[in-house]
Every structure is written in C-alpha cells, then in structure tokens.
Amino acid sequence: MPSSVTTTASTSFGKWRLSSSDRPIVVHSAVDAHVIGPGGSITLIEVKAGTKTTPSEKRPMLVPRVIEQTDSNQFGFMLLQKWDGYVIEADKETFTGHLIDSHGVLPDHDAIFSRAELPKEEQALVSAGTPFVWTIGYRQIGATRERASVIYFRRLPDWTGREISNGARAGENLGKAVGWE
C-alpha cells in the first residue's frame, strides 16, 4: 500500500489540497484568468486541476498558481518603418499610394497595394487623395514574434473653404514677416 500525506486548505480560489503520494497524478493546465494591473501589467492566473487515482477516491485536486509577468509574455509592436501616404489612384483590385517617410530620412516612393490587405471597413475609404499610414515592424505576442505590415486610413474631415483661406492668409503674413516678399 503506497504511503500518502494530504493537506487541505481554503483560499479565495476555493478549497484545495496538497498531496504527496506514490500514485501518479494527471494534471491538465490552462490559463483561467487575466488580470490587468496599474500601468498595464498583466497577471495570468492558472488553476492546476488534476485527479489522484486511488481505489478509494477520485477527487479533483486544485492548486492555484500565479504566473508572473515576464518579458516572454509581453504584447507589443516594434516599429521598423512608418510611411505617411495618400491615395493617387484606385481600381477594384489595387490602389496606388504616394509614400513619405515619417522620419524624413528616405526619399518619397509610390507603391501599389492590394485591396485584399485591408479590412472591409477600410476598403470603402479608398479614393484619390485619402490619407493613410503604412507601418512595418514586428508584432510581439508572448514569446512569438512575427513581421507585420499594417495599413490604416486616417478619418480626417475635408478642409473647408474657410480653413483653406485662413491658412493661405497666415502663410502670406508669415512670408511678409520673414521678408520673402
């Protein structure tokens, strides 16, 4: 007969037991809760469930375990390049955009994009002159790192005639102030 020692305790997770036995224990594992703390820190809470197989009893054993926040379970995006652009022309399958390096280092480019890269909600926004942003980088999900290319359209209202004339007037005044005229 195998020797066995069992300890039972109550916690905020419910009752749980610790057991040392010569019999095998089958353990099934999954994250049961995510807690977002101050500053965006994430704590994953996992409850281990197992069954001790003895001829006399089959009770589940629950052991709470808090998984500490580490670098390997971070979420984020590491930006490699960001382009600001606007649509030059579009058809049913593609659109052509003029791209300007947001860091001001690389020369301007024109690029052709497939509409299939956009969500359906974004496809309705594609028309000549529409501003968009194209980011290229690495998406970090846990210990997994994947290259990502993300295009999103800016939802900016059109300039009004009043805003255009005010801007032109401000430009003229600035030009006179610095002696360009």
Instruction: Kindly report, residue by residue over 93-103, the tens digit of the pLDDT.
Output: 999 999 999 88
Same domain, 33 and 53: yes
Give the mean pLDDT of the chain. Answer: 74
In a domain, 134, yes or no: yes
Cα Rg, the chain, nearest whole Å: 30
Instruction: Let me know if residue 133 belongs to a domain.
Output: yes
Quick check: is 165 in a domain?
no
Same domain, 23 and 85: no
Together in a domain, 140 and 83? yes
Q: Tens digits of per-residue pLDDT, 38-78?
A: 665 655 555 444 444 445 555 666 666 665 656 555 678 88
Measuring CA to CA, how many Å separate 102 from each of 14, 29, 95, 151, 154? Answer: 54, 45, 20, 14, 15
3 state SS of 145: strand
Which pLDDT belongs to residue 42?
59
Q: Are residues 120 and 54 in the same domain?
A: no
Residues 91 and 129 in one domain: yes
Parallel, antiparallel, or unpaired for β 75-90 and 60-67? unpaired
pLDDT at residue 158 greater than cutoff 90: no
Q: What is the pTM of this model?
A: 0.49
- Which pair of structure tokens corresponds to residue 48? 């281990």
Nearest to 88 by CA among 79, 80, 97: 97
Structure confidence at residue 91 (pLDDT):
93
Tell me what pLDDT residue 9 has: 47
- Going from the C-alpha of 138 to that of each of 75, 87, 101, 149, 163, the distances in angstroms are 11, 25, 18, 9, 39
Tell whether the model's pLDDT for residue 118 goes beyond 70.
yes
Say what the pLDDT of residue 140 is.
Answer: 85
Q: Which pair of structure tokens corresponds to residue 10?
A: 């109550």
pLDDT tens, position by position, 16-41: 444 444 444 444 444 445 556 666 56
Total number of domains in the chain: 2
Mean pLDDT to the nearest integer, 70-93: 84
* In a domain? residue 51: yes
Write out the two tokens for 36.
């977002």
Host domain of residue 132: 75-156
Please say if the pLDDT value at position 1 is more than 60: no
pLDDT band at 180 (very low <50, low <70, confident <90, very high): confident
Among 42, 43, 54, residue whose Cα is nearest residue 17: 54
Give which of 10, 7, 166, 148 is closest to 80, Cα–Cα: 148
pLDDT, mean of residues 116-143? 89
The Cα 110–Cα 103 span in angstroms is 17
